Structure 1
């Protein structure tokens, strides 16, 4: 549902009211699960495919769904170890070492840098 919510502005811009817009919205109501910080490339690719389809290219709706589903796994497989297995523990260790040394900025260091990686 979140994926469809993100795609609504693009779909409204690309398709006029009617069956094509409804079909595109239904296409993006499918199940979507990947690493949250790595969704931008998937959104970009499917958005570009929707644009090509709206401009008359011979792209089937199932192809757009297939690309979206096909990219979920690889991006989750790469993103999870990078963010949850590397960046967060390293920043937590740095922040904890500062805090153990009596520095009040340790937790702020951790949260601010983690936020920078998440929001980049």
Structure 2
């Protein structure tokens, strides 16, 4: 089956982002396809390049990046939610006259249309 995950909480402070990651690993291990992960609301913080966990903590942002690279999974942050929370890709930073971007490598910014398309084309959309 093909899946898209929707992640609504930040990388740290709540369990749901880590649960989404573990769910993703499990479904891939079982032979399913994970097409994309859509980070919405506070979930866009999963795409911040400025997240620096302590040395003894799990680096969830890096884990998403590795998973995406190894399994060709799209990591999409909702552009509107990300802008409100200060997570910007290079084109958004330039568009708004900002000197820097902080969207982590491997993540892209997308609109809700991308999520709507996933809901129409994937076998399952699971929200965390």
Which structure's residues are more often strand, by fraction?
2
Q: Which has the larger radius of gyration?
A: 1
Q: Same fold (TM over 0.5)?
A: no
